[in-house]
Amino acid sequence: MIALLQTAALPSLKQPTIVAVALVYFAIVAAIGVWATRRTRTAGDFFVAGRKIGVLPLALAAMAATVSGFVFIGGPGFVYGAGVGALYLVLSASITTSMGAWVLAKRLRLLGEVRALMTIPDAIGARYRSPSAQGLAGAAIIIAVVGYMATNILALGLVIDAVFDVGLTAGIWLGMTITLAYSVAGGILAGVYTDVFQGTLMAVASLLVFLFALQAGGGGEGLAGISRTISAADPEFFGPWGKLTPIAALSLFFVFGLGSLAQPHVVHKFYMLRDARQLKWYPALMSVALIMTLLLYFAVGVATKSLVVQGQLPPLTRPDDATPLFLLNATPVLLAALVFSGVAAAIMSTVNSFMSIGAAAVTHDMPKALGRRVSNELLWGRVSTVVISVLAALLAQLSGTLVAFLGIFGWGLFASTLVPSLAVGLNWPGATREGAVASISTGLIITLVFETLAYFKAYTFPAGVSASGLALVLSLLVFFGVSWLTRRGPGAEIDPDVRMVMDL
């Protein structure tokens, strides 16, 4: 499995225009945070934005939370190194937005209305009539969130260091503090509206970079010029699997396709929609925004490769240098500045979403699993946001190479624990409480064991097999098997209101 985010230093980006645009960007984010803070009065405002979000903000916020900094930095580097094979990681985006709408959006939104749910583990608890399943899902989310946030905060620190030249440690804490400030004060409401701004910035900047990349890399012939140039020097690059094996490429397609249903920081946003009928246009809006943003992933990778083949750029010592080098050499500095702000935007929007779901798991799901209720969820939501963020920032600063492992571990844990119990379970009445608990436990154990073995190089999977993929397959099979075995037991029962939503 590839590293999901930037973990090595970027080239220096300290230029007056880039610094100025970054400062303007942070000022706008701060202004949105202040605005949202004045509108955050209850735990419902803090965790589900008062269920008052329209479909356009929902689509843009979901896209911004889906896309991490990897799409801007690591992704183009991956394309530069692996050719077409790297695109299998994002190819399923053509299906996943619609799949997510059919599988989760309607049911989560309606279940949220019927039961006043606020978190993803809430939905699991309601579906299986099981505080233990809710607690287990909450625990998996907390573990994954801290790990994934650490990776994102490190990436944010690297970007801030490259732009402002403040050093990595200062970059980490500066980035975390800015994101934390608007997240603690304005909760998910601030998060959603900064996501709207950030998502728009990311999509527009990516589209512009795509046009510049075709021009620069194709020498006036656009994509055809890029294809001819690269294929003449490196025929494998534009092969149907690039430099990956077919099974490795297809495995990426499978894991990132089905795994997209289990990103709680994204699907949690369905609760926030003001009117479920607005979902009608969600897949179309989300698909347009997502594909626009992913254009950069493809175009910068192939354009940089073309420019290197033509001798207009030196061969890259690290694939992750593709985006900074391309932008600084082949686009106007203002556009480069917008993209670097877009990178920070992508990371911050993801971190903010993680802060929210992590805090909700601590203050809402875990106490509920233990039969308790926190009296002031808004206050404790803010406190736990700070605690989780500081923990993640410390991990980012102190864990060295472990941070890349934490990111992969977090992503794999979400996929293997939530696809069966949430995505399938909310649509299949045959799923049982025992099946859900067994599959979540399987996902936790398999992901932890195999990712740890892989990290310490005690075991290396053959090309094409990943711990995330294996854990996803096994947790689904355990889910089906245990549900079938326990289909006549009390764990198969479903509350009537939940069943009604599942049947719609």
SS3 315: coil
| Closest distance to other proteins from the beta carbon of 93 (Å) | 7
Neighbours of 111 (CB within 10 A): 24
Q: Please check whether residue 121 is in contact with residue 359, taking contact to mean a CB–CB distance below 8 angstroms.
A: no
Tokens of 347: 């990371």
Smallest separation (angstroms) from other proteins to the CB of 278: 10
Q: Does 165 bind other proteins (CB under 8 A)?
A: no
Q: Are 207 and 288 in contact (CB under 8 A)?
A: no
- Footprint of other proteins on 282-311 (CB under 8 A): 283-284, 286-287, 291
Restricting to residues 206-225, name those near other proteins by CB under 8 A: 222-224
Contact between 387 and other proteins per CB under 8 A: no
Contact 157, 149 (CB under 8 A): no
How far apart CA 297 and CA 84 sit, in angstroms, is 11
Question: Which residue is it, tokens 């692996």?
Answer: 82
**Per CB under 8 A, 449 contacts other proteins:** no
**Closest of 180, 166, 201, 173 to residue 344, by C-alpha:** 201
CB nearer to other proteins: give 104 or 444.
104
The stretch near other proteins (CB under 8 A) out of 20-28, 60-68, 257-265, 437-445 is 257-265
Least distance (Å) from other proteins to the CB of residue 258? Answer: 6
Nearest CA to 89 out of 320, 241, 256 is that of: 256
The answer to whether residue 495 forms part of the interface with other proteins (CB under 8 A) is yes
The residues that bridge with 214 in the sheet, in sequence order, are: none
Binding of other proteins at residue 231 (CB under 8 A)?
yes
Contacting other proteins (CB under 8 A), which of 14, 280, 318, 373?
280
Question: Does residue 181 belong to the site contacting other proteins (CB under 8 A)?
Answer: no
- What tokens were used for 261? 């249903």
Interface with other proteins by CB under 8 A: which range of 48-56, 151-159, 304-312, 470-478? Answer: 470-478
Please state the separation of Cα 467 from the chain's center in Å: 18
Shortest distance, position 252 Cβ to other proteins, whole Å: 10
Q: Give the x/- contact pattern for other proteins in 45-84, rule: CB under 8 A.
A: ---------------------------------------x
Check if the beta carbon of residue 228 is closer than 8 Å to that of residue 221: yes
**Candidate segments 202-210, 347-355, 399-407, 486-494, binder of other proteins by CB under 8 A:** 486-494
Q: What is the nearest approach in angstroms of other proteins to the Cβ of residue 4?
A: 20
Told to check if 392 binds other proteins by CB under 8 A, we report no
Determine, following the binding rule CB under 8 A, whether residue 453 of this chain makes contact with other proteins: no
Question: Which residues is 273 bridged to in the sheet?
Answer: 53
Residue 310, classed as helix, strand or coil, is coil
Read off φ and ψ for residue 492, nearest 5 degrees. Answer: -90, -10
Instruction: Examine residue 186 and tell whether it contacts other proteins (CB under 8 A).
Output: no
**Identity of the residue, 35 or 461, whose beta carbon is nearer to other proteins in the bound complex:** 461
- Nearest of 412, 409, 427, 336 to residue 16 by alpha carbon: 336
Count of positions on this chain that bind other proteins (CB under 8 A): 91
Alpha-carbon gap, residue 43 to 63, rounded angstroms = 24
Report 127-146 residues binding other proteins (CB under 8 A): 129
Minimal distance in Å, beta carbon 419 to other proteins? Answer: 9
Please state, in angstroms and rounded to a whole number, the distance separating the CA atoms of residues 40 and 36. Answer: 6
- Give the footprint of other proteins on residues 108-127 (CB under 8 A): 110, 113-116
Tell me if 424 contacts other proteins by CB under 8 A. yes
**Does 246 participate in binding other proteins (rule CB under 8 A)?**
yes
